[in-house]
Structure 1
Amino acid sequence: MNHHARASVSHGRTGATRSRPADPADATLDRLLERAGIRLNGPRPWDLQIHHRQTARRILAQGSLGLGESYMDGWWDAEQLDTLIFRLLSARLDQAVRTPALAWAGLRARLFNLQNEARAWMVGQQHYDLGNDFFAAMLDPSMAYSCGYWADADTLADAQFAKLDLVCRKLGLQPGMRLLDIGCGWGSLMRHAAEHYGVECLGLTVSREQAAYGAERCAQLPVRFELADYRSFNPDGRQRFDRIASIGMFEHVGSKNYPAFFAVAERSLREDGLMLLHTIGKTHHRDTTDPWIDRYIFRNGQLPLLGQISDAADPHFVIEDVHNFGADYDRTLRAWHRNFQQHWPRFAERHGDRFRRMWRYYLLACAGAFRARTLQLWQLVLAPGGLAGGYRRPMV
């Protein structure tokens, strides 16, 4: 415990009675946290341990942004950070602290196209280009950076294999087909489809690091990477693919661009083709992009509502199937966090301790959010005009 904490922790003792903090901000935050079964400086692993006397004021004034930034600055800790966030969100305390930053985030999203072509490359540069070695240490050997499927899996590698194979089976891939992967990452799906289903693949990405690393990994396969924003792809519709997949990319598209996204997919897909969309989503209109996530992790991201996807897809596709396995993201994120912790000494000098705390907060806060079911993970199967006779989801 550092010297900032010594004046602040006396109110965290156990027992039948507990005195209120002397500072009014501490007392206010303490009362809020009690609604979620959390104490300031309490004895349980999810209790918030204060190290700086201004922590409560910062959190109350800035909400989610203040909570995350003060953690990055070492002002507080929680042994089970994921459980802390799970409890906060389950008690809807995020709705109890409404800040100017949150209001501004919602206003910006309504007024501006934050995901236009000029801004589309920012997330690649800020996040995905952190270093292929960094992500290789955190992810499984397939380099899949999206939710695994844990129904019958015991390890991260098994869960990611199951997810990739589930996508291929939902799309009904057959040897000789051509697959377009919009937002292909390091090529985990394309590599799996080429190796196990004999499919020829083209992937689009806005990350130079991903394209270079993926091309090297897939050098002996019928897999090609293209560094391109989806909007500029196949403008005349001359390229047609048997299948299209988009895994964990739609979160970067933004609601103002959903019609353009589905128009690109329609002009690139054969009339008898199928598309699979795999995306994180939100369940309430009032929920806006988290200001901390927007500033430090995924610039200009926006989570869709299921209704928004349906409305935007409607002129182009029939939605044949919707599958929600968002609870599996909790386990996926905790597996990534274990890998991150294990390999952190390799990256400590490059990134520093503030980055370590930022990345820990990102992974475990998101795990808590999926556990609280305030975030969802959907896989949708879509078909132009609908499939004659209907679609049958394979065994999952």
Structure 2
Amino acid sequence: MNSDSLKQRARDLLAQAGVAIDGPDPTDLRVHHEGFYARVFAHGTLGLGESYMDGWWDAADLAGFFTRVLRANLDDALTTIDTLLAHLKARLINVQRGAHAWEVGRRHYDLGNDLFAAMLGKRLVYSCGYWARAQDLDQAQEDKLDLICRKLNLKPGQRVLDVGCGWGEALKFAAERYGVAGVGITVSAEQAAYSRELCAGLPIEIRLQDYREVDERFDAVLSVGMFEHVGAKNHRAWFEMARRCVIDDGLVLLHSIGSHATVTRPDPWIDRYIFPNSLIPNASQVAHALEGLFVVEDWHNFGADYDLTLQAWRANFDAAWPALHGRYDERFRRMWLFYLSCSAAIFRSRRDQLWQLTLSPRGVMGGFRVPR
């Protein structure tokens, strides 16, 4: 196809989502490079993301643009060889084992604590806030941490395992507010160093450790925003670890992004630039993996709250950019904006969900009315 034919094909496709090229609305595309059309049709979402990083196109309301595209399922029309390769990689290779399990720590979570501190707010909590009563990001994150502690029914003197502890904020909150001790594990050296400093003086141990290596007992196990890096081939191993590590009368809280659709591949752009070797779980995968190991006491979905969280992160990132740009270049800024805006649209369009599962090994006698 020549350039004009590709441009007309793009116009026709985008019209299905109510998006125009060089139109007047903030969700319309402004195309700055005529090679944009060939690049996107050749490489799908990878080409879309890379061309944005290179400044080939813009949209005033980037999240709004993506929301329209996703609600119209236009991404299904952009299946390319890159999509197929991502599918085959996820299907044939266990890319979340061994050295691969540490790659996301090096390439994403070790980017720089200055970046995440500027973006995430008062607490370095890199997961969906709970906005049921909150009016701002900091309160939403505190409410989320408190919700987790209440769901786990934490009591003073208990010992807690945090699988994928991030920068240590959840353990610090649980220790200070609920009087528990704990162990946190992470695959990020930067996170581990920060967590140890943050939790100094508290009965908390931070380890640079793969979850498969943990084999000791705790009163409760929590995991927030880590399960997305486990991969379907390892879901059962994750739940076996959780069952091995929680006492018979204890509780497990799993906080994870999830999909209601069949998930067979990562997005090629996200896999290359943001979260290597990661894959969003779907409900059937999770349910199958925990069979015979846990009773599901509660399955809570507040995925729409992630849109609010991501909007707040974007606002913080924009405000902090003058102080950050000395270390991060313009291409990184556009990469990060694409990531935050596309992610917000995924939750706004209800493509992905945010789940908190509360699990017990044998079922709580008389039932457990899980807090909200």
Instruction: Give TM-score scaled by structure 1 length.
Output: 0.92
The answer for the alignment partner of 1:289 in structure 2 is 266
CA distance in 1, matches of 2:38, 2:167: 42
CA distance in 1, matches of 2:357, 2:205: 25
CA 1:82–1:149: 2 relative to 1, 3 Å: same
Kept in 2: contact 1:194–1:221 (CA 8 A): yes
Residue 196, structure 1, aligned to residue 177, structure 2: yes
The answer for the alignment partner of 1:83 in structure 2 is 64
Residue 367, structure 1, aligned to residue 344, structure 2: yes
CA distance in 1, matches of 2:17, 2:53: 22
Residue 304, structure 1, aligned to residue 285, structure 2: no
In the TM superposition, residue 125 of structure 1 has moved relative to its aligned partner by 0.4
Instruction: Note the residue ranges of structure 2 that are not aligned, 5 or more in a row.
Output: none
CA distance in 2, matches of 1:150, 1:287: 31
Q: RMSD over aligned Cα, in angstroms?
A: 1.1
Return the match for 2:139 from 154, 158, 168: 158
CA distance in 2, matches of 1:32, 1:323: 36
In the TM superposition, residue 142 of structure 1 has moved relative to its aligned partner by 1.6
The answer for the alignment partner of 1:10 in structure 2 is none
Kept in 2: contact 1:140–1:160 (CA 8 A): no
The answer for the alignment partner of 1:327 in structure 2 is 304
Point out the more displaced range, 281-290 or 221-230.
Answer: 281-290
The answer for the alignment partner of 2:231 in structure 1 is 254
The answer for the alignment partner of 1:277 in structure 2 is 254
In the TM superposition, residue 315 of structure 1 has moved relative to its aligned partner by 2.5
CA distance in 2, matches of 1:286, 1:263: 22
In the TM superposition, residue 209 of structure 1 has moved relative to its aligned partner by 0.5
Return the match for 1:125 from 96, 102, 106: 106
CA 1:101–1:196: 2 relative to 1, 3 Å: same
Instruction: Give TM-score scaled by structure 2 length.
Output: 0.98
Q: Percent identity?
A: 53
Which structure has the greater CA radius of gyration? Answer: 1
Kept in 2: contact 1:46–1:84 (CA 8 A): yes
The one-letter amino acid paired with 1:193 is: A
Q: Report the number of matched residues.
A: 371
CA distance in 2, matches of 1:342, 1:287: 37
The superposition leaves residues 261-294 of structure 1 with CA deviations (integer Å, 9 ceiling, x where unpaired) of: 1111111110000000000011211563111000
Kept in 1: contact 2:31–2:56 (CA 8 A): yes
Aligned-partner SS, 1:124:
helix
Instruction: Note the residue ranges of structure 1 that are not aligned, 5 or more in a row.
Output: 1-20
CA distance in 1, matches of 2:90, 2:264: 12
CA distance in 1, matches of 2:228, 2:60: 30
The equivalences for 1:334-353 within 5 A come to 334-353=311-330
The answer for the alignment partner of 1:184 in structure 2 is 165
The superposition leaves residues 318-373 of structure 1 with CA deviations (integer Å, 9 ceiling, x where unpaired) of: 11110000110001011001111111112212110000000010001100111000
Aligned-partner SS, 2:40:
helix
Residue 209, structure 1, aligned to residue 186, structure 2: no
In the TM superposition, residue 180 of structure 1 has moved relative to its aligned partner by 0.3
